[in-house]
A and B are shown apart, each in its own frame.
Chain A
Amino acid sequence: DTEVTQTPKHLVMGMTNKKSLKCEQHMGHRAMYWYKQKAKKPPELMFVYSYEKLSINESVPSRFSPECPNSSLLNLHLHALQPEDSALYLCASSLVDTGSSYEQYFGPGTRLTVT
């Protein structure tokens, strides 16, 4: 099973709302990622978790708060977003090996609209 699931598929939220995006994988991967993708652009890395610990934060504004409750789940908590945060948010997972670099498997994404 090479599936990464994400919920919800679509989300519309106001600038004062608090919402969360969820991601789940059951491939035994110990690295999980959040990406943001604007239209006609490549994905931009936001966060990387390795063995449930935050390993990379690409200077993401604090209105985005990641959480990795266990090795299969990854959340992205959203608060006080701006309209420019509207984008496709992609979750991915991969194996971890200090001697290699493995392919990432992506979920279908959450299309977020901030009004």
Chain B
Amino acid sequence: AQKVTQAQTEISVVEKEDVTLDCVYETRDTTYYLFWYKQPPSGELVFLIRRNSFDEQNEISGRYSWNFQKSTSSFNFTITASQVVDSAVYFCALSENTGFQKLVFGTGTRLLVSP
């Protein structure tokens, strides 16, 4: 069975601090996909990144970076120099290699960035 664990329920930081959100997954599939979504207070889930199981390269997009390590089944997300607008709930999700997704979401990490 597939499972995603986000052990950090809530994280509070002060603006300009760096913060890492942890994601650990379980799957028996050799081909799978990992995602991060952001859900601000408005409610809409915003897609951030998609990574397949064969691509272990780390990725950087502006202040965001992702560290994918198959050896530890982790797909961690780091925000550098956090800003108040980063305050949101962040979900990590896992999908099998199917034509349409059946996403397995983690329980989410609420990030509070104060000025």
Tell me the total A-B contact number using a CB cutoff of 8 A.
75
The one of A48, A55, A109 that contacts B43, using a Cβ cutoff of 8 Å: A109
Judged by a CB distance under 8 angstroms, whether B75 is at the interface is no
A-B contact pairs, 25 of them (CB 8 A): A31-B99, A31-B100, A31-B101, A40-B108, A42-B106, A43-B103, A48-B102, A88-B43, A90-B43, A90-B44, A96-B99, A97-B99, A98-B98, A99-B97, A100-B97, A101-B33, A101-B96, A101-B99, A101-B100, A102-B101, A103-B35, A104-B47, A104-B101, A106-B44, A109-B44
Is A48 a contact of B47 with CB atoms below 8 Å?
Answer: no
Provide the B17-37 mask, 1 if CB < 8 A to any CB of A, else 0.
000000000000000110101
The residues in B between 89 and 109 inclusive whose CB is less than 8 angstroms from any CB of A are 91, 95-103, 105-108
Is A108 a contact of B99 with CB atoms below 8 Å?
Answer: no
Write out the residue numbers on chain B whose beta carbons fall within 8 Å of the beta carbon of A72: none
CB of B64, distance to nearest CB on chain A (Å): 15
Q: Give how many B residues have a beta carbon under 8 Å from the other chain's beta carbons.
A: 26
Judged by a CB distance under 8 angstroms, whether B45 is at the interface is yes
The one of A41, A45, A98, A111 that contacts B102, using a Cβ cutoff of 8 Å: A45
Judged by a CB distance under 8 angstroms, whether A94 is at the interface is yes
Which of A90, A104, A105, A111 has the most chain B CB atoms closer than 10 A to its own CB?
A: A104
Once bound together, how far apart are the Cα atoms of A77 and B24, in whole Å? 36
* A42-B101 CB under 8 A given contacts A103-B35, A108-B44, A111-B43: no
